[in-house]
Amino acid sequence: MAKKRFGSAKPPLHGRKAKIEEVMTGATVYNVPFPKDLSTLKGMSPIVIRHPYSVEYLHSYGQDSPFFAGIANGKLLGTRCGPCRYTYATPRLHCARCGEETDWTELPLEGRVHTFTTCYFGSEEFLKETPFHLILVEFDGVDTLLLARLIGVEGPEEIRIGMKVKAKFRRNSQLKPTDMYFVPS
Amino acid sequence: MRPVYMVSGGVSKFAKARPDATFQKMVKEAFDYALGDIPRLKPDRIDGSVGSYFSDHFTRQLMAGIMATDYLGLCPKPNKRIEGGGATGGLCFQSAWESVASGRMNCCVAFGFETMSRVQTWKGNEFIALASDTNFDYPVGGFYSGYYAMMVNRHIHEFGTTVEQMAMVSVKNHRNACFNPYAQKQKRLTVRDVRNSEMVAYPLTLLDICVMSDGAAVCILADEETAFRLTDKPVRITGVGTGTDMMRMADRPHGKVILAPNEKESDYRNMKYPGVHSFRAGRSAGIQAYKMAGIKDPIKEIDFIELHDAYTSSEIQTYEDLALCRYGEGGKFVEQGHPFLPQIDYGLKLKKKGTIPVNPSGGLIACGHPVGATGLMQAVFAFWQIQGSIRKHFGSGELQLKKANRGLIHSHAGTGTYVTVSILEKGW
């Protein structure tokens, strides 16, 4: 039906009479103002158009994938370097100190707040979740920290550095690091 | 390596939005200003350029570097893009230095720009947050102000730094900017204003944090012979340093302090370093630059500093990285007045005002932060300070320091992943 209305079903003209098809999609503007005197053009206001831009990525967690399988199963996994025994709370498959491949290891489910903040604003993607609390968690016997959300407190005044926190897991995994979060223990 | 000099610079007026100009045009404004300042430089004497911009998302134009290069009329000479987050401009400056020091070029243009107004602020924050680990950090926090807030909360915990001390940085930088016509924000504030402004990520308020901007900056560097042919007042680059650190703050070690030349091991008995409270990359960059420039006691041997104050907290942390004071003393350092300008009234009682002015231009907090341009903007403002030409370029001389023979510029990327330090000195 639409085809008929805009006449696009007609065969295109040939030669000098060839013409691009008129469309009514997006912004359609009639009578764009234009001065007779070209010397005034440099004073014109800029033309700004809207340009939506959406991309769907196939984001692979790559060698970090076991971490996400772990939190989907209620297990918190870090990695440990065999030769130097350095233990990473945020996993990495190769040790940054000695270069050796690390092994997966279960982390304790209880840790302490190393530092924190409460975000009242955020990136567009997370704006609807504000305010939310971020903590870096330290664990006994583990050399590095883990970034996570803290749930179950009202505001930053209820969070203390050193306070004990306990890992919890979403029942329905979304295969994101936020499948795991912490609450005061 | 050959000695390298800066011979001219230019900055476009930083603004929240420049819909009237594409990025090429903003770069051209800064470039023409720089050329206008040294009429003896004919464009055919330029051997090539390096360009810097941070985000392809903001620009929505891949290979924007070549488009700026062609707009400046610098084709078919060499050019490449330099990128390293917030330190993009500082890295670009050092890349131009390398081009001249190595002998590849006698005259090299460093240009940088960012057009951040093309998306809403919260989308812009999302783009910036993509400069954090997208497996583990972005999906949890996804907000740079939140990352820096966590860092300063640990600094507060370790050292007793206060939010009022942080607010004093904001008062200082916004006030300095009142005399800088290039600055985006010119404000007379009180500590209370800063604390009462909207909370963004506890304890950082809106006035603790720099804004997004559209803008461009250009520096022209040359070898000794070319430099003295072009200007009577070239500024020599006597030290460069670049430091790095692990992307995820969570991964940073808790080890021993890397000592600056004016420090000893007994200064830091129980400190776990850098943890998340300090920027190891900043310390590393500073030490390299000090060594190259022969600086032993930075606070005594440097006259002023333009540093990367994306957050008031990171300015305080950077005083310590640059060994202007010991680790942990950054808060007191600002409270006592050391980094303020001696000649400006801030409405604050300061005991030791003006020991080493920091961010006399107003810094990122007040000038704005068009990422790829910022590090070069600092170089231009430092260059004018050393030349003694602030009055000429700013239209008023309030910010001109009496003694500005040697300055330090410092550019810093996401949570301290890349940091550059360059030392600029009177070269004539």
Calculate what percentage of chain A has a pLDDT beyond 70: 94
Calculate what percentage of chain A has a pLDDT beyond 90: 79
Least confident of A34-38, A180-184, B46-50, B406-410: A34-38
Q: What pLDDT score does A25 carry?
A: 81
User: Closest residue of B to A119, CA-based?
Assistant: B201
Mean pLDDT of A51-76: 96
Mean pLDDT of A18-35: 87
pTM over 0.90: yes
Cβ-proximal residues to B387 (8 Å cutoff; 6+ apart), any chain: B233, B235
Question: With an 8 Å Cβ cutoff, are A120 and B201 in contact?
Answer: yes
Q: What is the pLDDT of residues B353-397, one digit of tens each?
A: 999 999 999 999 999 999 999 999 999 999 999 999 999 999 999
Beta bridge partners of B204: B201
Beta bridge partners of A14: none
Count of beta carbons in the 10 Å neighbourhood of residue A57: 6
Rounded Cα gap, residues B96 and A134, in angstroms? 40
Q: Which residues of B touch A45 (CB under 8 A)?
A: 20
ipTM of the complex: 0.96
Question: With an 8 Å Cβ cutoff, are A134 and B140 in contact?
Answer: yes
What angle is formed at CA B10 by the lines to CA B122 and CA B311, rounded to 5 degrees? Answer: 35
Distance from CA of B257 to the nearest CA of A (A): 17
Residues of chain B with pLDDT below 70 are none
Q: What pLDDT score does A3 carry?
A: 46
Rounded Cα gap, residues B211 and B223, in angstroms? 36
Closest among B141, B90, B9 to B418, alpha carbons compared: B90
Q: What pLDDT score does A17 carry?
A: 87
When pLDDT is cut at 50, 70 and 90, the band that residue A11 belongs to is low
Question: With an 8 Å Cβ cutoff, are B129 and A123 in contact?
Answer: yes
Mean pLDDT of A41-56: 91
Rounded Cα gap, residues B218 and B50, in angstroms? 10
CA A38 to chain centre: 47
Q: Which of B123, B200, B250 is nearest residue A147 as measured by Cβ atoms?
A: B250
Question: With an 8 Å Cβ cutoff, are A177 and B203 in contact?
Answer: no
CA torsion sign, A130 to A131 to A136 to A137?
Answer: negative
Question: With an 8 Å Cβ cutoff, are A89 and B250 in contact?
Answer: yes
Give B21: exposed, middle or buried? Use CB within 10 Å, 0-12, 13-18, 19+.
middle
Q: Which residues of A touch B143 (CB under 8 A)?
A: 119, 121-123, 126
Q: What pLDDT score does B176 carry?
A: 98
Q: Which residues of B touch A95 (CB under 8 A)?
A: none
Q: What is the pLDDT of residues A86-136, one digit of tens each?
A: 999 999 999 999 999 999 999 999 999 999 999 999 999 999 999 999 999
Q: Which residues of A touch B166 (CB under 8 A)?
A: none
Give B240: exposed, middle or buried? Use CB within 10 Å, 0-12, 13-18, 19+.
buried
- Per the CB < 8 A criterion, the answer to whether B309 and B210 are in contact is yes
Query: Which of the two residues, A51 and B88, has the higher pLDDT score?
Result: B88
What angle is formed at CA A109 by the lines to CA A105 and CA A112, rounded to 5 degrees? Answer: 115
* A120 contact B CB<8A: yes
Extract the tokens encoding A15: 């030669």
Question: With an 8 Å Cβ cutoff, are B135 and A143 in contact?
Answer: no
Q: What pLDDT score does B419 carry?
A: 98
Q: How many CA atoms lie within 13 A of B101 on its CB side?
A: 15
Is residue A2 predicted with pLDDT exceeding 50?
A: no
Q: Which of A117, A161, A178 is nearest residue B157 as measured by Cβ atoms?
A: A161
When pLDDT is cut at 50, 70 and 90, the band that residue A24 belongs to is confident
Q: What pLDDT score does A8 carry?
A: 52
Q: What pLDDT score does A5 carry?
A: 53
- Per the CB < 8 A criterion, the answer to whether A103 and A92 are in contact is no
Rounded Cα gap, residues A70 and B250, in angstroms? 19
Q: Which residues of B touch A122 (CB under 8 A)?
A: 122, 125, 141-143, 146
- Per the CB < 8 A criterion, the answer to whether B387 and B233 are in contact is yes
Question: With an 8 Å Cβ cutoff, are B145 and A89 in contact?
Answer: no
Beta bridge partners of A132: A119
Alpha helices in B178-275 (DSSP H): 191-196, 224-230
Rounded Cα gap, residues A153 and A150, in angstroms? 7
Rounded Cα gap, residues B370 and B357, in angstroms? 23
Helix axes B312-321, B163-177, angle to 10 degrees: 100
What is the SS3 assignment for B403? coil
For residue A117, which phi and psi values (nearest 5 degrees)?
Answer: -160, 165
Distance from CA of A13 to the nearest CA of B (A): 35
Q: Which of B128, B203, B276 is nearest residue A136 as measured by Cβ atoms?
A: B276
